[in-house]
Amino acid sequence: MTAGDRGVAVVTGASSGIGAATARRLAAEGFRLVVGARRMDRLAEVADPIRARALPLDVTDVESVGRFLAAVTEDGPIHILVNNAGGALGLDPFEMADLERWRWMYGANVLGAVWITQGLLGALEESGDGRVVLVGSIAGFQPYPGGSGYNAAKAAAKAAFEVLRMELLGRPLRVTQVDPGMVETEFSVVRFGGNTVRAGQVYEGVTPLTADDVADCIAWAVTRPSHVDIDQIVVRPRDQASATMVHRRS
Ligand SMILES: NC(=O)c1ccc[n+]([C@@H]2O[C@H](COP(=O)([O-])OP(=O)(O)OC[C@H]3O[C@@H](n4cnc5c(N)ncnc54)[C@H](OP(=O)(O)O)[C@@H]3O)[C@@H](O)[C@H]2O)c1
């Protein structure tokens, strides 16, 4: 590391939304970024201006994750890992839930984050002050009708990373969960299979969080002194009191 260089930060799912904003923000804070996602054209748009290393990554694919981990760890210690890749598919009622969608949500939001973290813990520990961030969701502890598959996945990720914090006690590693409410990104477009009209209705009459608002929380958490562990940040728009209580202006 050189003066003014705060080390390496890895962000998964950095081609849009919260991941892209977090990569930009951490670069501005003085970290060297390594970013991963499936859409390489979109990833390059984020990576090039901040001189980040852009690597293809599908967190649900064994070979892709293997190649990503090998490339990331070849350059030595890692200071920050932001597990952000993920999302929701559909709003299916439990009774008619499509289990393939559940499988994807569990794979991306839970197993993907666990897998990447397992693979990078050694390099994070080597930094002497490794920080792991999980981008969870209020959906992980406030279930809502139609959300069962996504609620279950985010709840599972939350439990797994709480256990990780306990198991890492005594080692130079911290674990932070950042759980946002409504953030206007491509999240709802993906959830509704590309239907932008339906996605737009989610934010109608509401001032949602922006991806930068969440990046701000992540940047704050990972730049606290080494002895300070921020366990969890719950961040919602002022217009949202819970997963199901939203104030809409007509
Ligand atoms: N927006 C919200 O209201 C909200 C609220 C709470 C929590 N969250 C969580 O925040 C995180 C980021 O979502 P976002 O709101 O920023 O949505 P977004 O704009 O759709 O971004 C999702 C990112 O994840 C990446 N991704 C998805 N599947 C992936 C996979 N299999 N492998 C690698 N990358 C993958 C996408 O990139 P590619 O498609 O290029 O792979 C994209 O960069 C997610 O974990 C989401 O669950 C969002």
Ligand 1 atom showing the smallest separation from residue 139 Cα: 6
Burial of 149 (0-12, 13-18, 19+ CB in 10 A): buried
Nearest to 8 by CA among 90, 101, 127: 127
What local confidence, expressed as pLDDT, does residue 75 receive?
Answer: 84
What local confidence, expressed as pLDDT, does residue 3 receive?
Answer: 60
- Show which residues are catalytic: 150
* Alpha carbon distance 26, 216 (integer Å): 9
Pocket of ligand 1 (CB under 6 A): 12-19, 37-39, 42, 57-60, 84-87, 108-109, 135, 137, 180, 182-183, 185-187, 190, 211
Nearest to 213 by CA among 191, 244, 181, 186: 181
Q: How far apart are the CA of 163 and the centre of ligand 1, in A?
A: 23
Ligand 1 atom showing the smallest separation from residue 61 Cα: 31
Q: How far apart are the CA of 13 and the centre of ligand 1, in A?
A: 6
Per-residue pLDDT tens, the chain, 250 aa: give them.
766 699 999 999 999 999 999 999 999 999 999 999 999 999 999 999 999 999 999 999 999 999 999 999 998 999 999 999 999 999 999 999 999 999 999 999 999 999 999 999 999 999 999 999 999 999 999 999 999 999 999 999 999 999 999 999 999 999 999 999 999 999 999 999 999 999 999 999 999 999 999 999 999 999 999 999 999 999 999 999 999 999 999 8
Contact 89, 191 (CB under 8 A): yes
Residues 120, 179, 194: CA angle, nearest 5 degrees: 90
177: Cβ–Cβ under 8 A, 6 or more apart, which residues? Answer: 133, 134, 136, 158, 161, 162, 231, 232, 233
What local confidence, expressed as pLDDT, does residue 89 receive?
Answer: 98
Residue with CA closest to ligand 1 atom 15: 187
Helix (H, G, I), strand (E, B) or coil at 192: coil
Q: How far apart are the CA of 16 and the centre of ligand 1, in A?
A: 7
- Entry pTM: 0.98
What local confidence, expressed as pLDDT, does residue 250 receive?
Answer: 85
Nearest to 186 by CA among 105, 89, 98, 94: 89
